[in-house]
Structure 1
């Protein structure tokens, strides 16, 4: 960033250009700020935890006290330390008045009046500093920035955050004047509901409550100044005239400079950005006057490692990067914890849009962030230095194009309206907005910033599809234009930087209460390193000044706070290299130059957990799969998979075991991961951070449940489910995949205040005494398909007792064994199941769950591109469908139920390498119904899968029980799929074969045809030596004649293993030969869910004999007790009673019979444990010794007495 020193003299030279650039302010008509609107918040969207208030202040050493880094912590886990004590935006200005109260804004006039001694000047320094600040006479009201009403939900206690819809203003966001907009949706930087960051905060404050230049100082009555210099930025406007409920200084004139500040904080959890916070400040002059001499900046006081007395911080300012970084001199913080390095990068500075100078050296002069589109101009128009322009914006000359005058950097992209109907979308028959074929909106999405490709699109709005970049103050702006485009400003750059110790600050009174000295400090136009020698507690100020802030106009600054671990040896050497910080600064710059657009994780999933005896059942929704859009990559759905983390501490510290190439903890190890079957797998060899590559999975397939059986009863577990994408390998060196953040907010006692919906907290436990689990009754399993479908109770907390369900299956026809219909048996059909639907019959057959080739869990369904070919019509043909796998698979859960499925589609030969024994046979359903002779049966090599039915071979004493009836004796394959010259026809048999399934399909049994394969070649059927081929026939009627031909071989059988004729099957013997087969479209399975029996009194009394105390003896501590990070908190002790009734009384006595404590247990009916905190009824710690417990059930009166020991 080019740094230019602007002096009053230069401003005077350009006075003719500058004069009259003010305009009417058209944004929200905010009331004066009020302390009743003050709220606190946390930026916790990545590894940085930062407390902030909605008046421009970050961190607060006084709010939480020393050595308790709950206001500024990195990383946000047990190993994190405090980084800063406080930070704040500072806006400083010098105003001029004549005749005590008449503002003068023309610099020429100011200079003239000053030479005549007829003008007074007053200095303002506006901030949110937490000590040595301006205040009223009694010191009870801070004369500082104060938050404005209308930007929070007043019934909540926190600042508006993108991840907390209940924090947003209920009636919508202030817009133009007194109008509001977008109720129920986030007021994003880029428009209605648009969230490009993982976490974004938004708040507005003004300086109306600063009466230091209006009220007499040192006056207990606080009367107005009537004689002497005074400044009224908005004459005729008063505190409380818009908001009569204002709680302080009501009726006083509007004070300060007349500033309005809209602030946004941004965080991303991408591995490359998870240690950064961005702050952006839009500062508007809403007063009646120009402010000709102004400056913006940031002031931070640091405390790395939480050390305050003595301190040992060292700092360095890198001018090339506009970044200051500070580290702990000895690398040891409070408690011996190693602190990281803290840095602040100065990003955006105010613009000088009317001085006819290219201040930011980008080849453009006087860009503006608040102008309108203007007219279309040529590709080279308004470029003052082509070489600089192309270099600054990374363009080639052929990239230049005709563009709108207000789009100075030529990056606004028009849409394509192919049919010229004035819109890019239409509403389909289902009421959904759909992009018109062949069209795209580009940046021409209208003032709300939402285009047809966005999830929350609800139709065209003002400016959409008009092919003009649009901006309307307070209402909205299209992307890559005006206020949304950081490049459309002729930035002044950083003009002052001062790194100093607290001692130096105090000695020079560089505090915000002393406006004069602080103004000089901030406006010094110097770059000063800390020169104090010995390491000390450090702070810094970075500012841009001076420039005119015209009335009605907005200027901006932005900063980034960066955190990293560095080698103490390297960073302390000459030049102070900080490799990790420098890489982080590259990411910072990338995000900033992309207008705060960066890779986002998928939509946050919702996790649900249920505890049972020795296991935890976890389920989640499919919002991440269906609703994810990545605006950074053109609104594609880049969802890739899920990772599930488990921890026994609230910071998920014990799951963070993956380290980077310097040994620092870098990421967590999941207990479960699943990903899409799309070939994107293994380590991402792009976007690595510290040598750590993101693991993308192994193409396991997606599912939405997990059962964790590696848990201990009584111990509390924290689970976090994150969805992740596959990153952006094609951008630069590649962007790493991004996953959802894990957000847990704790209070000072480390109790959870709020947590993300992707987090679940659960304690596994034994069942309560007398509790009987819910069950399922199968009502109908009479189906043609014979796969095993077993409904099981998955989560008894989610079941609906008494509900009846029906399962139906989707069927797809692949083809037939015989190509020509005339040669085809009526039973010849190759089908597969490729989906199912589950209906709740109790709720009017409402569809509650489905699977299809488009949506299915894990790898339940084989995708077409996974397959080879299928043998049909005597040749191999391509498979043209997807279908269920044959091995054991599970559905996702629905209403607390899961379907366990086996042999779906049987052993369907999607690969021709199947072993003979696997071909389609249902071994559990095959065998002798009557008899036990040796028989050898083999399915045909491929033709069987057109006939996967149940067959019975019936033996009689009639030698002509069946006679071959074929009169067309060609096209017969044996089981090896080859023809044979040794077929015998017109033979009779003492047995016959029936297709039992045909009865259900056609209403009558079907008797199969049999042909002898004459293995011994003697021309006769020898039952002990030859083989019989069994198959279906095709019957064709030609005139009065029936042509009976072979329809396909199902199986072959022989008795060659039989020793003698006496061992052959006897009359009345029946052999069942069954194939695994798909369900038909008419098949259905129904079942009913039976509720749990909350208390079975007989089993309750018996179960109470199993009551135990865990651990026994109690020795100092145990794994059930939660970890505590705050050293000022005591360990919370736990001892557990198991197998107790859900409603009972527990009394604990000393061995001498003194009552120590009493516990009234009123658990959920299934919950059979309770913890005791080892405190007496007086809340005192108990002594070591032997104790007696007495438990009495409230339901049955059953009692149990036992003992346990406590050893300290």
Structure 2
């Protein structure tokens, strides 16, 4: 099959012009204590949540062909090693009058290639630099939504209620499956004698700060797409009349060594630029893909009285305090300025500022101002330049200005090593004003495929990224064996709530491959012959009647929903070879939606838009030379092998093999502790199983359940706080907690010095001026229940695993004990017959009948 990809580049350029009245004399600039920017805050990032894998930097660069980074730049599909571009960067420019009265055009960029970057004679880069504080300073990665270690302890642009939460565009959560976030400014660009803020000599360039976010989804309809958004804020004291916002890029379809035979084209109507390999043969000898950029949003001009984007609204704005398109819904959107409501993960209560439930739209709520992508009178793509590399020279600011003048569209030369420069302008930017543009990096197997992806991406964007999300990924553990591999996982995926479709978890798929990118399983094609789905080796789904091909298809292909097999939480692969390395993924998938799902009882929400199912991602982290460097929570790497000589596996613990002691109460049921992972067993640990039957005392709320108590005393340290501090375990045993200082010598009293939430598993000190001090380290000891109030009593294998064990219980129904029933005193030949009244409730009591 032909696997073509096109690279279409989209660039918006911002050109700014100084008001003529703002002219600076060279001697009037004041010095400032503003911290000068250096390279010390530069960090690296990787987007790898779907089929696209690429390196990027927190000073604007996307991709990098220098320093051996080419094999990490625009790789598609992820894991193939096929790179589709060298580098890209946003470019922002403005027309200004410098301190000497000379009209200048100043541009800043984030080009990674130092050899072609705009640098001073002394080697200083005249570029963007990262703004400090937006990533963990003790590591070298850009802040990513799925890596909390990369987050700072406090986000500089938010109050402390956001600490420990993702700093999302739409609230304290990530709307995509993977998001990146950083800020950069152009203050180090002191090439020209222009001072955007006369009171701050360290603030050079145009005085611009840019908020940058990347978005990736794993859903099959968006797995070939990576979105970048750029919010530009004028932090200087100079208002600009003419700005251009654009992007420069160097795509090499077919990888390095095959970049000199590329063709390209642009489509002004649909705001898309794309590129493909002329002979459809990459450096690897096989077919190539199409690659491109689509303009999703350009800066708007809300002042010209023109409907620039032809959407029926004139001069709409994301900053005018008006819900221009009237799509804010008080029933669903009145969640407050933090963007999350009672049904969202991470919700801790109403917003302190009173914005939640106040009956009016507020900044930060969905579908209003900057969270509504439709509220901008977009200018669109206004210029396009193309030239053989390296003839677009970002060092020449005046030439870049001429190449991005609105209305300038150059027909690209074909079958060559092409570079592009796209722009959008002019538009004004006042002091402290924010403007936004967004582009989508796209891949497709051919031209039709990439155009379909472009339509999908525009729909996602227009819906403010409210795209269906897959369930949470299960946490998987692997147990290697002799010619077998056992996987087991938790139930966290079943607690997932989609922001649109609610609790829609459906099942698990298991994938096995001998390559870390799972390309071996990527074999199911759509009606156009494009690879679309991976083929699972095993699948387990809910028993709900949703089986076989899903009613909603994607490009003529339906997702297999399963066979109503029932859910499982472990699986053993017995078709493996010892010594071979295997890569496994356990993915969760949702129900999708069709018009009759509410009537069929599949969904609890009616009248939603039909959609195909979403499946969670599967990622094995691999470095540039192919060495595995890490796994995701739902992926594992394993090599099965024979056990050591003389090894005897442990025996499962049962009520009938004397490995379990029944020490209290009467019972005839059967309990088994299946050992699934011997490596997780702890010598000497004891567990106590307690059964609770409330069916007798609370007939209106009947329940039988059991809990497992780990009788090993756990000890951990925590830092005192008047806010709740989470412990490592939940469901603590009441009365088992003791708290001391670090030395263990000074004991504290519950309800006097501290308070414990036993179910949630957290603790807080009661008074900052009491015996326990905020910020001091303390020691806590406790017992906890690793299995709490389970109701699986019919031999189900649904209990969560803990310490390598899974508990299985088979309850016996209440019935007459004929063996121990009969005459106990006296000599009587009366015959008796005892039965159970069918309409009565079984009650576990012994009765004595006396005759007088």
Same topology, TM > 0.5: yes
For the residues of structure 2 that align with 1:186 and 1:30, how far apart are their CA atoms?
28
1:1127-1154, Cα deviation, whole Å (9 max, x unpaired): xxxxxxxxxxxxxxxxxxxxxxxxxxxx
Q: In structure 2, do the counterparts of structure 1 residues 455 and 890 end up closer, same or farther at CA, with 3 Å as the change threshold?
A: closer
Q: In structure 2, do the counterparts of structure 1 residues 75 and 971 end up closer, same or farther at CA, with 3 Å as the change threshold?
A: closer
**Per-residue deviation at 1:478?**
1.9
**Per-residue deviation at 1:317?**
2.0
Q: Please say if 1:167 is aligned against 2:150.
A: yes
Q: In structure 2, do the counterparts of structure 1 residues 356 and 180 end up closer, same or farther at CA, with 3 Å as the change threshold?
A: farther
Q: In structure 2, do the counterparts of structure 1 residues 32 and 356 end up closer, same or farther at CA, with 3 Å as the change threshold?
A: farther
Q: In structure 2, do the counterparts of structure 1 residues 752 and 678 end up closer, same or farther at CA, with 3 Å as the change threshold?
A: same
**Among 623, 634, 637, the residue aligned to 2:503:** 637
In structure 2, what is the equivalent of residue 840 of structure 1? 710
Q: Secondary structure at the match of 2:93?
A: strand
In structure 2, what is the equivalent of residue 502 of structure 1? 388
**Among 201, 210, 222, the residue aligned to 2:180:** 201
Q: In structure 2, do the counterparts of structure 1 residues 660 and 33 end up closer, same or farther at CA, with 3 Å as the change threshold?
A: farther
Does the Cα contact within 8 Å between 1:30 and 1:148 map onto a contact in 2? no
**Per-residue deviation at 1:307?**
4.5
**Per-residue deviation at 1:133?**
2.4
Q: In structure 2, do the counterparts of structure 1 residues 846 and 972 end up closer, same or farther at CA, with 3 Å as the change threshold?
A: closer
In structure 2, what is the equivalent of residue 989 of structure 1? none
For the residues of structure 2 that align with 1:511 and 1:351, how far apart are their CA atoms?
27
For the residues of structure 1 that align with 2:40 and 2:14, how far apart are their CA atoms?
40
In structure 2, what is the equivalent of residue 514 of structure 1? 396
In structure 1, what is the equivalent of residue 615 of structure 2? 739
User: How many residues get paired?
Assistant: 734
In structure 2, what is the equivalent of residue 697 of structure 1? 562
Alignment TM-score, normalising by the size of structure 2: 0.79
Higher mean alpha-carbon deviation, 769-778 vs 714-723, is at 769-778
In structure 2, what is the equivalent of residue 413 of structure 1? 329
For the residues of structure 2 that align with 1:88 and 1:197, how far apart are their CA atoms?
22
Does the Cα contact within 8 Å between 2:251 and 2:419 map onto a contact in 1? yes
In structure 2, what is the equivalent of residue 581 of structure 1? 450
Q: Please say if 1:59 is aligned against 2:63.
A: yes
**Per-residue deviation at 1:699?**
2.4
For the residues of structure 2 that align with 1:670 and 1:732, how far apart are their CA atoms?
29
For the residues of structure 2 that align with 1:1003 and 1:128, how far apart are their CA atoms?
86
Q: In structure 2, do the counterparts of structure 1 residues 34 and 478 end up closer, same or farther at CA, with 3 Å as the change threshold?
A: farther
**Among 35, 38, 56, the residue aligned to 2:39:** 35
Higher mean alpha-carbon deviation, 545-554 vs 745-754, is at 745-754
In structure 2, what is the equivalent of residue 1062 of structure 1? none
Q: In structure 2, do the counterparts of structure 1 residues 964 and 579 end up closer, same or farther at CA, with 3 Å as the change threshold?
A: farther
Show the 5 A alignment for 1:656-735: 656-686=522-552, 688-729=553-594, 734-735=610-611
In structure 2, what is the equivalent of residue 237 of structure 1? 200
For the residues of structure 2 that align with 1:971 and 1:1002, how far apart are their CA atoms?
14
Q: Please say if 1:536 is aligned against 2:416.
A: yes
**Per-residue deviation at 1:606?**
1.6
For the residues of structure 1 that align with 2:836 and 2:624, how far apart are their CA atoms?
83
In structure 2, what is the equivalent of residue 356 of structure 1? 305
Q: In structure 2, do the counterparts of structure 1 residues 30 and 306 end up closer, same or farther at CA, with 3 Å as the change threshold?
A: farther
Query: Over the residues paired in the alignment, what is the CA RMSD in angstroms?
Result: 3.7
For the residues of structure 2 that align with 1:478 and 1:948, how far apart are their CA atoms?
62
Q: In structure 2, do the counterparts of structure 1 residues 333 and 1003 end up closer, same or farther at CA, with 3 Å as the change threshold?
A: same
1:316-373, Cα deviation, whole Å (9 max, x unpaired): 223332112211111110121221111211110111122222222233222221233x
For the residues of structure 1 that align with 2:143 and 2:343, how far apart are their CA atoms?
26
The structure with more radius of gyration? 1
In structure 2, what is the equivalent of residue 480 of structure 1? 367
Q: In structure 2, do the counterparts of structure 1 residues 511 and 842 end up closer, same or farther at CA, with 3 Å as the change threshold?
A: closer
In structure 2, what is the equivalent of residue 796 of structure 1? 678
**Per-residue deviation at 1:620?**
1.9
Does the Cα contact within 8 Å between 1:705 and 1:893 map onto a contact in 2? no
Q: Which runs of 5+ in 2 are unaligned?
A: 1-9, 22-32, 596-606, 714-735, 737-782
For the residues of structure 1 that align with 2:821 and 2:348, how far apart are their CA atoms?
66
Q: Please say if 1:761 is aligned against 2:608.
A: no
Does the Cα contact within 8 Å between 2:294 and 2:441 map onto a contact in 1? yes
For the residues of structure 2 that align with 1:321 and 1:45, how far apart are their CA atoms?
26
Q: Please say if 1:564 is aligned against 2:444.
A: yes
Does the Cα contact within 8 Å between 1:31 and 1:148 map onto a contact in 2? no
Q: Secondary structure at the match of 1:724?
A: strand
Q: In structure 2, do the counterparts of structure 1 residues 465 and 370 end up closer, same or farther at CA, with 3 Å as the change threshold?
A: same
For the residues of structure 2 that align with 1:737 and 1:1001, how far apart are their CA atoms?
51
**Among 131, 136, 149, the residue aligned to 2:120:** 136
**Per-residue deviation at 1:949?**
4.0
For the residues of structure 1 that align with 2:13 and 2:671, how far apart are their CA atoms?
79
In structure 2, what is the equivalent of residue 619 of structure 1? 488
Does the Cα contact within 8 Å between 1:344 and 1:561 map onto a contact in 2? yes
For the residues of structure 2 that align with 1:558 and 1:629, how far apart are their CA atoms?
28
1:1055-1114, Cα deviation, whole Å (9 max, x unpaired): xxxxxxxxxxxxxxxxxxxxxxxxxxxxxxxxxxxxxxxxxxxxxxxxxxxxxxxxxxxx
Q: Secondary structure at the match of 1:565?
A: coil
Q: Secondary structure at the match of 2:254?
A: helix
Alignment TM-score, normalising by the size of structure 1: 0.57
Does the Cα contact within 8 Å between 1:32 and 1:206 map onto a contact in 2? no
Does the Cα contact within 8 Å between 2:14 and 2:94 map onto a contact in 1? no
Q: Secondary structure at the match of 2:630?
A: strand
Q: In structure 2, do the counterparts of structure 1 residues 292 and 799 end up closer, same or farther at CA, with 3 Å as the change threshold?
A: same
For the residues of structure 2 that align with 1:43 and 1:371, how far apart are their CA atoms?
34
For the residues of structure 2 that align with 1:209 and 1:728, how far apart are their CA atoms?
51
**Among 399, 405, 409, the residue aligned to 1:527:** 409
Does the Cα contact within 8 Å between 2:262 and 2:277 map onto a contact in 1? yes
For the residues of structure 1 that align with 2:278 and 2:270, how far apart are their CA atoms?
22
Q: Please say if 1:150 is aligned against 2:133.
A: yes
Q: Secondary structure at the match of 1:61?
A: coil
Does the Cα contact within 8 Å between 1:81 and 1:337 map onto a contact in 2? no
Q: Please say if 1:450 is aligned against 2:340.
A: yes
Does the Cα contact within 8 Å between 2:516 and 2:583 map onto a contact in 1? yes
In structure 1, what is the equivalent of residue 87 of structure 2? 86
For the residues of structure 2 that align with 1:490 and 1:739, how far apart are their CA atoms?
35
For the residues of structure 2 that align with 1:724 and 1:7, how far apart are their CA atoms?
42
**Per-residue deviation at 1:6?**
14
**Per-residue deviation at 1:15?**
12
In structure 1, what is the equivalent of residue 468 of structure 2? 599
For the residues of structure 1 that align with 2:61 and 2:608, how far apart are their CA atoms?
35
1:804-837, Cα deviation, whole Å (9 max, x unpaired): 223344558699xxxxxxxxxxxxx9xx996433
Does the Cα contact within 8 Å between 2:382 and 2:424 map onto a contact in 1? yes
Does the Cα contact within 8 Å between 2:582 and 2:637 map onto a contact in 1? yes
Show the 5 A alignment for 1:1032-1051: none
Q: In structure 2, do the counterparts of structure 1 residues 290 and 953 end up closer, same or farther at CA, with 3 Å as the change threshold?
A: closer
**Per-residue deviation at 1:453?**
1.8
In structure 2, what is the equivalent of residue 926 of structure 1? none
**Per-residue deviation at 1:310?**
5.9
**Per-residue deviation at 1:210?**
0.6
Q: Secondary structure at the match of 1:298?
A: strand
For the residues of structure 1 that align with 2:580 and 2:117, how far apart are their CA atoms?
49
**Per-residue deviation at 1:588?**
0.4
**Among 354, 362, 365, the residue aligned to 1:470:** 362
More RCO (CA 8 Å, sep 6+): 2
**Per-residue deviation at 1:851?**
6.1
